A = this chain, B = another copy of it.
């Protein structure tokens, strides 16, 4: 049996991207995935949720169309159509990946793959008998799935995970979301925009716990204004699921009980490790995720890991990056890198995006820094677009002024952060940003002004 150069288990943003990269390097690649390629990101994550959020944003915008000189008749959300649109992209984008597989002669094996020993995978087709495949390299990229809470099984009616929440047939009257991270926050915005009563519950003192505190405070302010109720430092103790509602009991800062039509669990993710290991095979884990070395190799020689399954930050672009690095480490003399500078984006409105250290983290690390902040309120473009909430906040290390972290809350934050990503990757300083001409009128001017503000040189403050 002629072995493959690479067998990949899992067809998400790590797996399919790794497969394409290996094929570009002339390698013979098979990818085992039980569903269509694209993974959680494409079918149950980034892509469908961004479609939902885009519809929500448009819905809000249209309600203010008169301000912009556009008269509209009665505005009404067609919730089923909103959901249906979000589902249509899975199919279209999966087709795109499948055609890339054909172009690159990547074998897409539909079914399950399990590592039986170094260099060997047991492949079980969806319909058919298991067979053994050999490969010089194996990449595990099986991703992660929503974490559950003990005793609260997602029934799809009362108790939901993100997966069920994104395919509801009608808008819930009320929803309590447990977990104020990116997923919880995005769903809170989405359901509230269409009119649900939304309560967002977070155990820690701030929503978006990994974001800069000032950003979280501003988002909470905007959410409160839109009618989302936020309960921080509050823990779900017990849920009584009945036919018509769920009764929730909390501890912490909030002790009242709440009745809700639906509860959405957004408390985190855990590695997809089920069926990945054949009998007798063992993989070293770290906090429940596959442990990898600097070259992405697991504890089994020749078996590599990339993406959510090897641990945080559980971001699609990080997964793809890791897979490319891992594959280049296998087949080229490039030295693979582990991601250290990566953006995080939250696509509610206002959007949140960040890269690098939060101010709290910078303090904890004993960094000496200066902060520059600039509000979109003072920016022509934001005013024109009718959305001037939020600000840009950048941390510059002293004395060189290198960017330690950048935090944006406001329109197009996820696009704006890319300048900061490149900047941090290139070790940019405040001087570099200030020497860069930012087009007028754009939202990106806020970045230049924030840099200038850190030394008292902002023009429009």
Q: What residues on B are CB-neighbors of A13 within 8 Å?
A: 440
Please, what's the 1-or-0 string for A258-278, where 1 marks a CB less than 8 Å from any CB in chain B?
000000000000000000000
Please, what's the 1-or-0 string for A70-87, where 1 marks a CB less than 8 Å from any CB in chain B?
111111111111111100
Please, what's the 1-or-0 string for A93-117, where 1 marks a CB less than 8 Å from any CB in chain B?
1001000100000000000000000
Q: Tell me whether A295 is interfacial, beta carbon within 8 Å.
A: no
Please, what's the 1-or-0 string for A387-429, where 1 marks a CB less than 8 Å from any CB in chain B?
0000000000000000000000000101111110111011010
Contact A78 to B70, CB < 8 A, known contacts A353-B439, A426-B432, A439-B345: yes
In Å, the complex CA distance between A274 and B418 comes to 44
Q: Tell me whether A249 is interfacial, beta carbon within 8 Å.
A: no
Q: Tell me whether A67 is interfacial, beta carbon within 8 Å.
A: yes
Q: Contact at A72–B62, with CB atoms within 8 Å?
A: yes
A324 to chain B: closest residue by CB: B459
In Å, the complex CA distance between A377 and B41 comes to 19
In Å, the complex CA distance between A70 and B56 comes to 9
Q: Tell me whether A123 is interfacial, beta carbon within 8 Å.
A: no
In the assembled complex, the CB of A72 is this many whole angstroms from the nearest CB of chain B, namely 4
Q: What residues on B are CB-neighbors of A380 within 8 Å?
A: 42, 46-47, 50, 89, 93
Q: Contact at A442–B68, with CB atoms within 8 Å?
A: no
Is the interface on chain A under 10, 10 to 19, 20 to 34, or 35 or more residues? 35 or more
Please, what's the 1-or-0 string for A338-370, where 1 marks a CB less than 8 Å from any CB in chain B?
010111110000000100000000000000000
Q: Contact at A415–B444, with CB atoms within 8 Å?
A: yes
Q: Tell me whether A321 is interfacial, beta carbon within 8 Å.
A: yes
A51 to chain B: closest residue by CB: B384
Q: Contact at B24–A457, with CB atoms within 8 Å?
A: yes
A316 to chain B: closest residue by CB: B440
Q: What residues on B are CB-neighbors of A445 within 8 Å?
A: 317
Q: Tell me whether A318 is interfacial, beta carbon within 8 Å.
A: yes
Please, what's the 1-or-0 string for A317-349, where 1 marks a CB less than 8 Å from any CB in chain B?
110110010000000000001010111110000
Q: Contact at B50–A58, with CB atoms within 8 Å?
A: no
Residues 30 to 58 of chain A near chain B (Cβ within 8 Å): 41-42, 46-47, 50-51, 54-55, 58
Q: Tell me whether A460 is interfacial, beta carbon within 8 Å.
A: yes
Q: What residues on B are CB-neighbors of A345 within 8 Å?
A: 439, 442
Q: Tell me whether A294 is interfacial, beta carbon within 8 Å.
A: no
**Which of A55, A79, A385, A440 has most B Cβ within 10 Å?**
A440
Q: Tell me whether A438 is interfacial, beta carbon within 8 Å.
A: yes
Contact A82 to B54, CB < 8 A, known contacts A317-B437, A432-B422, A437-B318: no
Q: Tell me whether A284 is interfacial, beta carbon within 8 Å.
A: no
Q: What residues on B are CB-neighbors of A312 within 8 Å?
A: none
Q: Contact at A438–B457, with CB atoms within 8 Å?
A: no
Q: What residues on B are CB-neighbors of A68 within 8 Å?
A: 54-55, 58-59, 82, 85
Q: What residues on B are CB-neighbors of A353 within 8 Å?
A: 439
Q: What residues on B are CB-neighbors of A416 within 8 Å?
A: 415, 418
A84 to chain B: closest residue by CB: B69
In Å, the complex CA distance between A269 and B80 comes to 52
Q: Tell me whether A28 is interfacial, beta carbon within 8 Å.
A: no
In the assembled complex, the CB of A78 is this many whole angstroms from the nearest CB of chain B, namely 5
A347 to chain B: closest residue by CB: B441
In Å, the complex CA distance between A85 and B442 comes to 19
In the assembled complex, the CB of A387 is this many whole angstroms from the nearest CB of chain B, namely 10
A321 to chain B: closest residue by CB: B437
In the assembled complex, the CB of A374 is this many whole angstroms from the nearest CB of chain B, namely 14
Q: Tell me whether A215 is interfacial, beta carbon within 8 Å.
A: no
Q: Tell me whether A121 is interfacial, beta carbon within 8 Å.
A: no
Q: Contact at A415–B417, with CB atoms within 8 Å?
A: no
Residues 267 to 302 of chain A near chain B (Cβ within 8 Å): none
A444 to chain B: closest residue by CB: B418
Q: Contact at B428–A442, with CB atoms within 8 Å?
A: no
Q: Tell me whether A217 is interfacial, beta carbon within 8 Å.
A: no
Q: Contact at A440–B78, with CB atoms within 8 Å?
A: no
Q: Contact at B47–A456, with CB atoms within 8 Å?
A: no
Q: Contact at A440–B317, with CB atoms within 8 Å?
A: yes
Q: Contact at B71–A77, with CB atoms within 8 Å?
A: yes
Q: Contact at A76–B85, with CB atoms within 8 Å?
A: no
Contact A412 to B412, CB < 8 A, known contacts A69-B82, A343-B437: yes
The 6 closest A-B pairs by CB, nearest first: A73-B73, A69-B82, A69-B81, A418-B444, A317-B440, A343-B439
